[in-house]
Amino acid sequence: MRAAMQVRSASGATAAPRACAAAAPIGRAPHPARRTDRSSAAATSPAGRSTLGPWRGAATASALSGAQRRRSVVAAATGGGGYDFAIETLPTWLLREEMAGRVPFDLVQVVSSIAVACKQISALVARAPLAKLTGVAGGSNASGDEQKKLDVIANDIFTGAVANCGRTGITVSEEEEAPIAVDVVAGGNYIVAFDPIDGSSNLDACISSGSIFGIYTPGECVINDDDSADEVLEKCVTNVRKAGTELVAAGYCLYSSATVLVLTLGDGVFSFTLDRGLGEFVLTDRSAAVWLQ
């Protein structure tokens, strides 16, 4: 009996360690000699050198050659001076001029409204043949010129843009017989004279055209109580007949292969090109003046 118990206890004592020994490999980490690093094995040889050397070298050489080609193209286009990817849009430029005290806020609003009108007209000019906007409209303007369809449409666009900015008191258009007073003016009260599309006869042949504008400070329109309506109109018309030396800003917008806005605020002439991707006029020339001998 005791021998049997000893046998059983011995068998029990020996069975438990065997069970633990059998279960042990499940919980143990792999032997260090069996560890593999697939990423390092794929990237390096047993000697520690990269097995992708030839391929990696070819890819690097291709990338470098591509970068070198791009740099050489940019250097050739810019005269070796590199390329500045920073741009300055018309709103940013106007803001800086205002912050420097060179341009009043009210004038900035008027110029900005003219830029918006030029963008709209540029889009119409580009689509004129497709949108059936070429040809005559059937009337004549104040100068006696035959009006084109875009003359009438562009005049409405230009007049509405400068009138709605709240800083224009009177608009003077070539397409109107008399100056038009703006009912609501928040400030500035500028006089804006413009030809919405100069050279509109070129549109039928897809030749360049443009908008011309000038901005004047408001003058005094003295009206007496006994003045008639015709006398009041004549005094106000005389008020807007100003010399070019009285301009506070002037410019034109050219509609061609590119849309270019040339602007002066009294000190220097600046050129802005419309980036259709951005939808903004971008400063492209800080000295666009043409000096006459």
CA-based torsion, 114, 115, 120, 126: positive or negative: positive
Q: Can you give the residue range of the structural domain that contains 132?
A: 104-255
Task: Answer whether residue 22 is part of any domain.
Answer: no
* Per-residue pLDDT tens digits for 110-136: 999 999 999 999 999 988 888 877 767
pLDDT value for 78: 58
Task: Answer whether residue 225 is part of any domain.
Answer: yes
Task: Answer whether residue 170 is part of any domain.
Answer: yes
Provide the CATH number for the domain around residue 124: 3.30.540.10
User: What is the count of structural domains for the chain?
Assistant: 1
Task: Name the DSSP letter for residue 31.
Answer: P
pLDDT value for 60: 53
CA-based torsion, 42, 48, 54, 57: positive or negative: positive
Query: What pTM, to 2 d.p., does this model score?
Result: 0.67
pLDDT value for 83: 54
Using CA atoms, how far apart are residues 283 and 93, in angstroms rounded to an integer?
8
* Pair 271, 284: CB distance under 8 Å: yes
Task: Answer whether residue 198 is part of any domain.
Answer: yes
Task: Answer whether residue 281 is part of any domain.
Answer: no
Task: List the chain residues with pLDDT less than 50.
Answer: 1-27, 33-46, 48, 50, 52
Task: Answer whether residue 207 is part of any domain.
Answer: yes
User: Side chain identity at 281, as an amino acid letter?
Assistant: F
* Per-residue pLDDT tens digits for 20-29: 444 444 445 5
Task: Name the DSSP letter for residue 33.
Answer: G
- CA–CA distance from 128 to each of 27, 125, 212, 288 (Å)? 80, 5, 20, 29
Task: Answer whether residue 174 is part of any domain.
Answer: yes
Task: Answer whether residue 162 is part of any domain.
Answer: yes
